[in-house]
Every structure is written in C-alpha cells, then in structure tokens.
Structure 1
Amino acid sequence: MTKPTSPSSAAVLPATSIVQIQYFLYFAVMGLTLPYFNLYLSHIQLDGIEIGILSGIRSGLMMVAPLTWSLIADRLKARRMVYILLNVGATLVWTGYFLTTQFPWLVVIGLLHGFLFTPIIAFLEAFSLDTLGKDKNRYGLNRLWGSVAFILVVVGCGRLFDRIGVTSILVLVLAGCGLQLAFSFWMPKDTPSKPSPDLGLPEGLRSRGAVVFLLCVFLMIASHGGYYGFISIHLEALGFDKTFTGICWAVASICEIGVMANSRRIFSRFRLKTVLMVSLCIAALRWIALSVFTTAVPILISQALHAFTYAAFHMAGILTIDRFASDRFKTFAQALNNSIGYGMGLTAGFLVSGWFYERFGYVRMFQLGALLAMCGAVVLLKWGRIPEE
C-alpha cells in the first residue's frame, strides 16, 4: 500500500508528518480539556453530579457521533472532506462557552461540540494506519507526538492556571482547535477501497471475537471514569496545587511515550492478547493504589502505570480492531472501537464514578474501577480470540 498524499500536503510535508502534526494538535487540546476543563466547571460553581453529566455527555456522544460520521465518510469515500468539516464545526461551536456559565446552556453546547469533536480521533487513527501501509506496528511512532503535546500542555498550563486562573482555558482550547482546523486541509487524500469478501462488517466486526474484545474495551475504559473525571479534583482536595496536577499528567504521558516509541518491538515480540491482558491487570493495581495512597510519591508512581493502562492497551486495541475489519470498513472499525470504549465505557464510568464520588468518596470510586478492570481481564482470558495478522 502506498502512502496517500494530497497535492497540497505533498508539496509541504509527507503524509506521515501531517498525521503526526494532527496528533500533536489534537492532544494539545486534550491536554487542556481532560485535566483542567472539569476544574473550570468546578470554578464556575457546578457540583459533582453536574460535572459528571457534562463529562458523560462528551464521552456519551462517542456512542453515536463517530459511527454516524464514519459511515457517511466511508459510504461517500470522503474521509478527508468530512474530517475538515468536523474541525470547522467543532471550532465554531466551542466559542459558545464564552457566552454562558449556566448549566442548561452548557449541556447544549456540550452536545453540539461533542457531536462534532468526538469523531475526529477515529478518523485520525484511520488516516494513521493508512499512511503506515503494511508496517502498522509502527503506529506508536505516529501516536507518540500526541503524548509529547499532552506533556507540554499539562505542565505548562498547570503553572499558567496557578498564575492567571483556569478560566483562560477557553481561549487556549479555541486557539488549539483553530490550528488543528488549519492543518486539516493538508491531510492525505482518501485511500481507494474495495469491498472485501473475507472480513466484511457482518463476519468481522460482528464476530464473537470482536464482540468479546469490544466488551473488554468497554470495561477497561469504564474503569478509567473516576480517573479521567475526578483525579484533578481529587488531587486539589488532597491539598495539591495545579502545578502538581500538571506534573502528574505529564509523568503519565512521559511513560506512555516510552511504550509508543517501542511499539514495533513490543508487537513483534508479544501477542496482542497478551498485551491487552497485562494492561487490564495493571489497571486494577493502579486504581487500588490510588484508593490507598494520598501522598505525592506513591501517586506519581501510580501515574507511571499509565504506560500500560493507556498506551499499551490503546495501541493493542487499535491494531486488534483493525484485524477484525475489511478494507472497506477501516474508518468505521476505528469509530466503533472509540464508540464502545470512549463512548459507552467512559460515559458509564463518568456517571457511576460521579455518583460514587459524591455518595461514598474517592476510595470506593477507585475500588470500583479496579473491579471493572479485573472483570475485563477475566472475560478476555476466557473468551478472547484475536485473528492472526
């Protein structure tokens, strides 16, 4: 498979470099919203339940939006054009956050923005695998640029928000979305695809192996609900400042970069199922640690486990769902993986974790996450079947 390029991108940078820039910009925005947007919501006097609802909306739309837009893109063979339109819409809708702090209107803005922003990563994953051709084990070398951006943003903005306040997050996210929109016009052209007689949608993505895998993805990402939704608030309640919060997120990203940089070596040596299993077990250990320790050093050590619970699991998941899909459904496959995990799984995780945090506190919340991760490990061990490459 040759690397697809558009006339504009070919004259400026290789297709792989354009994809890496997009990862950088996308996760720069995520480095703002994931650790700090809930702090902004707390700053404008929303309670835990309202924050959980808004977080759940953003992830909940991944159950519908990526599948909808990916089907449109695959059917029209217009992945690049749809990707550009999503970036345009998401950037425009974000400006609504400047106009109100009222919870009902924040729900409306969250719904619109989520419907346009949440599909972007699934499209980007499909672009990334296309540019790699047959050497898909190098996926981590593309994806690690997102982690680099995440580190720079969470550390820099932790200090920045301590000085000028967390409300400046709105301007910074808008700037990041604007840059991502600008570079989206240089994304590579769509790769022509033909229907496959072997692994079409019914036989591949609806197979028992795919269903079991997606259930494990659901459980793993749901176990992260308390972490993604409330770790920054939890650290603040323990007395840590925003700089330490940024350092915690940065430590996690630094460790995940090490795994991603060695993606070819890891997946040449270990089976995908093995990587998924180890990651699920380590996730359970990580959440137990956060339920027990409240001092800086153990918390930072637990953050290093992000290399397994996110980086290794994520890369293995991207490669696994790709094996279940025919060429015709590559974009849809990545959208399905994101919808089940970061849509259904994270929505359930956010909502249940928000309730547990308010009702029982952080200890029970993280213990619930550990239980979900272990359930995923048991399901994968007993019923998991992944096609050979």
Structure 2
Amino acid sequence: MMPYWGIYLHHLGFDAKAIGELIAIIMGTKIIAPNIWGWLAARTGYHITLVRISSLLAVICFAGVLLRQDYLWLAIVMTTFSFFWNAALPQFEATTFAYLGLQARRYTQIRLWGSIGFIITVSLFGWLLEYIPIRLLPALLLSLFIGIWLSSLWVPEKVNSVTPTYTESFYQVLRRPTIIALFAICFLMQASHGPYYTFYSLYLENHGYARDLIGRLWALGVVAEVMVFLVMHRLLIRFSLSRLLIISLSLTALRWLLIGSAVNSLLILIFAQLLHAASFGIYHGVSMQLIRHYFADHHQGQAQALYSSLSFGAGGAVGSLASGYVWQMGAQFSYWGAAGVCLIAIWISWQWLEQDKVA
C-alpha cells in the first residue's frame, strides 16, 4: 500500500499537505488501536482470533474507498480501516514468539516471509501500473487484504502456558528509564521515515523515474532487509543489542542524507535503498528482541501493541504530518530533518541503552 498510496492520492488531485494528512491518519490510528486490541488479547489470550476478526473488518472498511474519493470520505475510511488493520500485526508478533519459545532469536527467519511478500507485490504493482491506470490500485489492495484474512484462518491459536516468574505489572515495567528511552527511540526512528513512506515514490516520479523502476527500488530495499533477517540470529550472538541499535540509527541517518541530497543519481539511490537493511531490518529485529528481553511472556501482547502504537503509530503519524508541511519548502529539507531526528535517537540510545549493555 505505502509505496503507491501517495501516487494514488496525487492522481485524485490532493496536494502534499492533504496527502501527508491522509497518510498520517493510517499511522495515527496505531496510537490507540493496538493498545485496545492488546488489552483484549491480554484479557482473553486469543491473539489469532482477534487477528481474524480485525482483518475481516479491515477488508469491509477498506472497500469504502471504491464508493467515493473526496477528502472527508477518504479520511473516514482510512480511520476505520486502519483502526482494525493496525490491530492485527502486534498480536501476530506475540503469537510468533509464543510458538518460538526458547528459540526467540529465530524470529527474523519467520519475519522475512513478510518481506518476501512485500518484494513480490511491490515489484508486481510497479510493473502493472505501467500498463493499467492508478485508479485500479484500491481494487488490487482489497484483494491482498482479503488474502490476509483468509490466511489467518489457517493459523491455530497458541495460548501461552508459561507461568509468570515474577509479579511486576506491565505498568511497573513501563516506568523504568530504560524502557522509556527504548520507546522514545522507536518513536523517533519511525518519525524519521515520514518523508520516505509518504513521498518517496512521488519524489522519484517528480524527478523523472518510471513507476516500474520506483517499484524495483522499493523492492531492492526489502531484499536487503531479507538478507539481514537471514543472518540476524548470528549478529545477535556476536553483538550487544544496544550496539546494533546505534549502528542501525547511524546508517539510517546516512540513508536520509543521501536520498535528500542525491536524488538525481540512480547509483546513490540504489546504495541508499540497500541501507534499508539497517533502517528496518536490524532496527526491527533488535527492537523485537529488546521487547522480548524486558517484558515477561504474559506481557508480550500489550508490549507489542505499545511498540506498534508509539513507533509506527505516533512516530509514523508525526513524521508523515511534518514531512507534508515541510515538503512545500523543499523535498530535501524533509530528508535532512529526518537525519537530524535519527541523531537525537542515537544520543538517547548511547545515554540509556548502551549503558544498560543488553546482551
């Protein structure tokens, strides 16, 4: 959805400010929705059941895009759709860790299949949109959302039977300075992605790149992500989590500087896309392990929900909104600002997480 939704909204006649606002809605609902569904999962223990229900309701709500395309209607549709859509992923993450048990380091070897799906889809859509009108994008996306709901029906429920080893509550854990620092870093990291997820495709199209090539560049980034996922379990053995996080944040800052400063160089853009291995691959893998490390098994559903809401939700929404407003001053300023946000996250990580020396 994200690589082409900005182009679709531009096709409908919306300006950068409106595009940033509409995409921010998708991110913004992650602030509330995952926590509501996470609370329900913690009370019931039925993570996959909630994934099935929320995926089906997301399909029904997204179908509203086919009815009308004015700003107010799309805002309503995006709000309702993403409220249910954003509920599914954190509960599926919790289910994955429940199945892995003591083999939590192998999480990325499962997560990479989501990345492979993204590579196939974004490449296919980039090729298709060279031959079919962009107005058909919602129908293509609807077919994917239906497929996600159908596949969720095949995953059996996994109720965590591990007995809690300590009595510290979820909210007591949240008050630790290290945990506050961790979620602040996650917020800033995703906020820095605002110009990328909101305007990258439109940015390249405005500089003469074909949609087919744009799709390949998106896919290249995720190929690099998959490569990291394949070796992530080895990196986790050799390096501390805090050190890997700082490396990821540093390379992400470099990535935004390159995209903002050298958009006319395809070679540099290719290199910048390879850095997606760090800006998402290493970062997400480390974040999952940190949450697994700091939160007990019976808190995983709520912890994953909070991670999603503060990073992809609040961070993504703020990043999308800010990039939409700054974009009109000049695209490069959005990316330079994103690099600056990463530098703040590096400082927080060095001050709090590095001192904690999480193995």
Give the structure-2-normalised TM-score.
0.96
Q: How is 1:53-132 mapped onto 2 (pairs within 5 angstroms)?
A: 53-132=21-100
Equivalent AA in structure 1 for residue 179 of structure 2 = A
Equivalent AA in structure 1 for residue 64 of structure 2 = G
Residue deviations 1:186-234, cap 9 Å, x none?
A: 2231223545525531332331111001101111111110111110010
Question: Of the candidates 322, 337, 344, which is equivalent to residue 368 of structure 1?
Answer: 337
Q: Hey, what's the Cα distance between the residues in 2 that align with 1:166 and 1:301?
A: 28
- Tell me what 1:332 maps to: 302
Equivalent AA in structure 1 for residue 337 of structure 2 = L
Residue deviations 1:64-113, cap 9 Å, x none?
A: 00000010111122212211110110011111000001100000001100
The gaps in structure 2 that reach 5 residues or longer are none
CA contact (8 A) 1:139 1:263 kept: no
Larger mean CA deviation between 183-192 and 329-338 belongs to 183-192
Equivalent AA in structure 2 for residue 370 of structure 1 = A
Change (3 A) 1:386 1:331: farther
Give the structure-1-normalised TM-score.
0.89
The gaps in structure 1 that reach 5 residues or longer are 1-32
Q: Hey, what's the Cα distance between the residues in 2 that align with 1:339 and 1:164?
A: 35
Number of matched pairs: 356
Q: Hey, what's the Cα distance between the residues in 1 that align with 2:87 and 2:356?
A: 25
Residue deviations 1:228-271, cap 9 Å, x none?
A: 11100100010101011101101101111110011210111111
- Tell me what 1:172 maps to: 140
CA contact (8 A) 1:212 1:383 kept: yes
- Tell me what 1:272 maps to: 241
The percent identity for this pair of structures is 28
CA contact (8 A) 2:253 2:339 kept: yes
Q: CA RMSD in A?
A: 1.3
Q: How is 1:220-369 mapped onto 2 (pairs within 5 angstroms)?
A: 220-293=189-262, 294-358=264-328, 360-369=329-338
Q: Hey, what's the Cα distance between the residues in 1 that align with 2:35 and 2:175?
A: 15
Larger mean CA deviation between 195-204 and 374-383 belongs to 195-204
Change (3 A) 1:386 1:343: farther
Q: Hey, what's the Cα distance between the residues in 2 that align with 1:223 and 1:246?
A: 21
Deviation of 1:387 after TM superposition, in Å, equals: 7.5
- Tell me what 2:160 maps to: 191
- Tell me what 1:4 maps to: none
CA contact (8 A) 1:225 1:349 kept: yes
CA contact (8 A) 1:144 1:260 kept: yes
Deviation of 1:388 after TM superposition, in Å, equals: 4.6
Q: Hey, what's the Cα distance between the residues in 1 that align with 2:297 and 2:172?
A: 13
CA contact (8 A) 1:141 1:261 kept: yes
- Tell me what 1:208 maps to: 177
CA contact (8 A) 2:192 2:319 kept: yes
